[in-house]
Amino acid sequence: MQIKTIILGTAGSAPTRERRMPSVAMIYEGEVLLFDCGEGTQFRMLEHDINPVKVKAIFISHAHGDHTIGIAGLVRTMGMNNRKEPLLIFVPAGDEKVIQSLITFDRALITYKIIIRGIRSGLVYSGREYEVLAFKLRHTIPTYGYAFREKSKTKFKKELAHRLGIRGEMFSKLEKNGSVKVGKRTVRLSQVSWRQEGKKIVYATDTRPTQETIAAARNADLLIHESSYKASEIGLARKRMHSSAGEVAMLAKKAGVKRLVLTHISARHRTDTELLRDARNIFKNTVVANDGYTVII
């Protein structure tokens, strides 16, 4: 199953003419998950034909306004589109009231249920074929990254299974029980199947590079990580608890990720030339995202 990831907003702290505030959409089996919801998120959703009613959950990295203010307009639009399904919003534990304050202004329109859950590290949400885990980041306030992880699947070697006499419902019995009787022979699941590892996408923003991120991103198909500063600005990155492009590239290399996408770009950078150079000197498969940058894996 394909996972479509759209970096809706790529600005860091303040918007520019080209970049809006932070938000990432993941689309999987028709469901939409949002990671952060900065100002302007729903405008970018319109540009990419993302139906707000399809949003299952919003995962907030931290309670700073540039990552949360877009929730106010988005939940109102959902109400105007006659949303019935409950909406889940995840936020670092202790900051639930910040989100509550954004959704109480227009109860006449917001008639569907909104469930706000405070999170800590670990599993925070499970879909039918995927799960979302949170891991701690290092910023000026409590902040979490998120790992979208597709569940692994059992894949059958069908030609071999057929040769051994396995047909129809025998496949489901074999998967459930680990073995099945075919005549006088017992066929084990391990003989006729293999495990297909699920895809993994990791999102980390407003943070210093951390060991927790390396662990969460181990062998990930895609790492989306903030890169507010270039290498020569590492002092600012440390002071403001953000990351430089070179630091993030080193993190991606250590984690063994397949692809790195840099976002949360400071308004001081008029072009992405230096950020890209800093990162690609260490990790070649790097892109600096512009709003709307899309990855399908």
What is the residue whose two structure tokens read 């227009």? 106
Long-range contacts from 152-160, C-beta under 8 angstroms, 24+ separation: 152/195, 152/196, 152/197, 152/198, 153/195, 153/196, 153/198, 154/189, 154/193, 154/194, 154/195, 154/196, 155/193, 155/194, 155/195, 155/196, 156/192, 156/193, 157/192, 157/193, 157/194, 160/191, 160/192
Q: At what angle do helices 245-255 and 273-280 cross, to 10 degrees?
A: 30
Give the orientation angle of helix 96-103 with respect to helix 70-80, to 10 degrees: 50
Distance CA 9, CA 150 (A): 24
The label of the residue with tokens 């996972």 reads: 3
State the Cα–Cα distance between residues 225 and 138, nearest whole angstrom: 13
Instruction: Indicate which residue of 36, 66, 206, 272 is catalytic.
Output: 66
Rounded to an integer, what distance in angstroms lies between the CA atom of residue 159 and that of residue 3? 29
Q: Where on the phi/psi map is residue 292: left (φ > 0), alpha (ψ -120 to 50), or beta?
A: left
Q: Annotated catalytic, 66?
A: yes
Catalytic residues: 66
